[in-house]
Amino acid sequence: MRGANIVFVALAALCWGLSGGIAGILISSGWDALALSFYRGTIGLLIFLGWLCLRPHGSGLNNRRMWFWSAIAGLGVAGNFSFYFVSVTHCNVAIAVTLMYSAPVFVCLVSFALKLERPTVLKWTAIATVMLGIVLLTQIYDLDASNVTLFGVSAGLLAGVSYTIFIFGFKYATQYGSPQAILSIAFAMLATLLVWFDHVEISYAILSAPQWPLIAGLGILGAGVSFTLYLLGLKHTGPTSASIVAMIEPVTAALFGVVVLHESLAGSQMVGMGVIIITVTVLSIYSKAEPAHDLGSIQSNSNQKKGPGR
């Protein structure tokens, strides 16, 4: 059974990685990043609502605090999806997903600020190392010679920051309700925000689009199925195993970009990507191995949650 749960986590990470590649194809075909984020979130919402209908017990839908923290999680996932796809538009899939994968660094910084986690030399060293990896990956010191823009780099990092907001919102919400209820509210918030930002027309433009199978796959793989598999897999998967298996996401997305989309990375960029992925994984494992401090029941409920790609 433990092996099956690890497989669930691996499949979730694979789905997130593939969804980044699918988004790259759609963006290269002229699709807007916010429109794709809306479709991805809305299709996921339909799946989560179905899950909630099948498993309504303990939903917490009558708890105002659960609604509040779920809405915060929705703000985070809306920003994560949107900034990630914007970064893909202005950089490429490999760079965007690796920048987003730095989310645990922002989780650490927020935890330090809120005194939820104790700063250590190893953690500060890891954060500094990730920053070095970002410099190498993006070649921010020579943007004129690189294939990225400062706007794209900023969007990729903001995708990681947004996922940090989702992590904390989801963690606090789990005290008051079920995962399926939290995700339903969060993704309803996502859909509402993106319709407001990118006009209502995006809600029916898909019906006449020749790429609708890819858009459907983006929502099914990148939201509904992946989040469900990940949460199911974490029930009996150790945090160390989950952190290592989660590396499948950036690796899959990067390979998809290189093989299918014919993206290219310079040698220093590949080194930077490796530095970020390895350091973030080690940081996640180390953080989860520590005893809980002020997180209390929140940490015990969700101490295995490692950022998906979103």
Instruction: Give the pLDDT means over successive 10-residue stretches in the chain (310 positions).
Output: 75 93 94 92 96 94 96 96 95 90 83 83 89 84 71 92 91 94 97 78 67 94 93 73 78 88 85 89 72 37 45
310 in any annotated domain: no
94 in any annotated domain: yes
**Counted domains in the chain:** 1
Looking at residue 292, its pLDDT comes to 40
Q: How far apart are CA 102 and CA 157, in angstroms?
A: 8
Looking at residue 110, its pLDDT comes to 82
Looking at residue 198, its pLDDT comes to 64
Q: How far apart are CA 173 and CA 183, in angstroms?
A: 10
pTM (two decimals): 0.84
Looking at residue 266, its pLDDT comes to 82
Could you list the residue range(s) of the whole structural domain that residue 25 is in?
2-302
CA angle 15, 21, 24 (to 5 degrees): 145
307 in any annotated domain: no
Count CB neighbours of 260 within 10 A. 13
CB 227 within 8 A of CB 40: no
309 in any annotated domain: no
Looking at residue 172, its pLDDT comes to 93
292 to 117, 171, 175, 196, 303: CA distances (angstroms): 8, 14, 16, 39, 9
187 in any annotated domain: yes
Looking at residue 2, its pLDDT comes to 54
Looking at residue 240, its pLDDT comes to 62
Dump strand ranges (E) for 147-289.
none
117 to 111, 157, 294: CA distances (angstroms): 5, 22, 8
Looking at residue 71, its pLDDT comes to 97
308 in any annotated domain: no
